[in-house]
Structure 1
Amino acid sequence: MSLDTTPTILMVPGLRDHVAEHWQTLLQDKLPNAVSVPPLERDKLSCAARVAALDAALAEIDGPVILVAHSAGVMITVHWAQQHSRRIHGALLAAPADLEAPLPMGYPDMEALIQNGWLPIPREPLPFPSIVGASRNDPLAQFERVAAMAKDWGSRLVDLGEVGHLNPAAGFGEWARAETLIRELV
C-alpha cells in the first residue's frame, strides 16, 4: 500500500488549528489521500468539542484511516480513543504537548485546561498501532514525560532529536520524516 492510495490520512491539528506553513498543512496539500479535521468556529479550547470534531471528520471517511496528530492534536486523539470504538489503522503522534505541566506564556494555563476537560491525560493503551515522535528540546513537553506517555499508550517511541516543538517556530515547515513514519503504519 502506498501513501497515495488507501488508507485516508486524517490530520489532527493542535490548538492553533491550521497554520499555512505547518508540516501537517504542507503534507495534506502534498498527499492526495489526506484530509484534516476542520477548524472549530467556537468552543476552540473545549476538549469535548475537539473530540467531537475528530469523530465527525472520521464519520465522513469510508475505509481505513491513519491519524496524524501534532501537539494538542495528540491529546485530542487519545481522548477520542477512550470514548469511541471505530477501527483506526494507525496513528502518528508527533510532539505531544504535556498538558499536565505548565505551558509557556501564550498557551492556556492549567486552570483553563482543567475547566475545558483536557486533564488528566488518558494513559490507557491505544486500541491501534501508534508511533510517538518525541523531541529532546520541546518547550511544551519534556522528553521523559513523552516517553512515559508513549509507553502507557503502547506506542513505539521515536526519538526525533532536538526539533523543538516541530512547528514553524522551531524551523519546520516541511517534515519529510512524517511520510516515512506514516509508511511504517501502512
Structure 2
Amino acid sequence: MKPQNVLILPGWQSSGPDHWQSLWETQYGYHRVDQHDWMTPRRGDWMAQLEETILATDGPVVLVAHSLGCILTAAWASHSKNTHRVKAALLVAPGDAEREALQGVLPSWSPVPMQLLPFPSQLVGSRDDPYCSFDRVQAMGTAWGSTFTDLGNAGHINAETGLGAWAFGHGMLRQLIEMKDN
C-alpha cells in the first residue's frame, strides 16, 4: 500500500507535532485528512471532507483515527456508499462525544454511531482515558465489531502520554495494512 493511502484522522484540535499521528505522517509519508475547522468541529463537515479525500485517493485506504477521528470513522461509515474503499481502520482512544463535559463543545457529534463497521478494525483503549470510560470504549469496540486492545493505564494515548512515535501502535497498523483481502 502506498503511504499516501494511509489516512490520518486526528481528533478535535488536530494532533500536534509531538503526537504519534504527526510523527507517523512525517516518518512514513502518511496523509492527514485536513479539516476546515479543528476547533469547532461539525460532524457533517468532517464527514464530507473524509468522503472527498477517500474518493480522491487512488486505490484502497487504511484509516488511522484518534479520539474524535474514531467517532468520525463510525459516523462516515454509517452514511457513505464508499466504505468498500476502506481496507481497515486503526481506531485509538475514541472520545465519547456523549459525555456531558463534551456535549457543549461537540454538539453535532451525539449520538455516537454504534453499528458494525463494514471493514476490519482494531480499537485501542485505555483504562484511564479522561475522555472515555473503559466500559464505554469496550462497548464501542463491540458495537463496531473491532478487535480490542487494552493498553492499560495510558491516558488519552496522545503526546501527553509520552508515547513518541509509538512503535507498538505502528506494529498494529502494519498488521492491518498487510492483512489479506477477504
Q: TM-score, normalised by structure 1?
A: 0.87
Aligned to 2:91: 93
Within 1, Cα distance between the matches of 2:170 and 2:159? 18
2:21 is equivalent to residue 13 of structure 1: no
CA-CA distance at 1:99 after TM superposition: 1.3
Within 2, Cα distance between the matches of 1:39 and 1:21? 19
Aligned to 2:148: 157
The answer to whether the 8 Å contact 1:133/1:160 transfers is yes
SS of residue in 1 equivalent to 2:132: coil
2:159 is equivalent to residue 173 of structure 1: no
Q: TM-score, normalised by structure 2?
A: 0.89
Query: Which of 110, 113, 126 pairs up with 1:119?
Result: 110
SS of residue in 2 equivalent to 1:162: coil
2:92 is equivalent to residue 139 of structure 1: no
Unaligned runs of 5+ in 2: 178-182
2:16 is equivalent to residue 23 of structure 1: no
The one-character-per-residue Cα deviations of 1:121-155 (angstroms, maximum 9, x if unpaired) are 00110000000000111111111110011001111
Q: Answer 1 or 2: which has greater helix percent.
A: 2
The number of equivalent residue pairs is 175
Runs of 4+ in 1 over 4 A off after TM superposition: none
Query: What is the RMSD of the two structures over their aligned residues, measured on CA atoms?
Result: 1.8
The answer to whether the 8 Å contact 2:12/2:68 transfers is yes
Unaligned runs of 5+ in 1: 104-108
Within 2, Cα distance between the matches of 1:158 and 1:67? 17
The one-character-per-residue Cα deviations of 1:54-99 (angstroms, maximum 9, x if unpaired) are 1121122011110000000101111000110222100000000111
Aligned to 1:106: none
SS of residue in 2 equivalent to 1:89: strand
Within 2, Cα distance between the matches of 1:167 and 1:22? 6
The answer to whether the 8 Å contact 1:15/1:72 transfers is yes
SS of residue in 2 equivalent to 1:11: strand
Percent sequence identity over matched residues? 36
Query: Which of 78, 81, 91 pairs up with 2:77?
Result: 81
Query: Which of 62, 66, 73 pairs up with 1:66?
Result: 62
Within 1, Cα distance between the matches of 2:92 and 2:38? 25
If asked which structure has higher relative contact order (CA below 8 Å, sep 6+), I would say 1
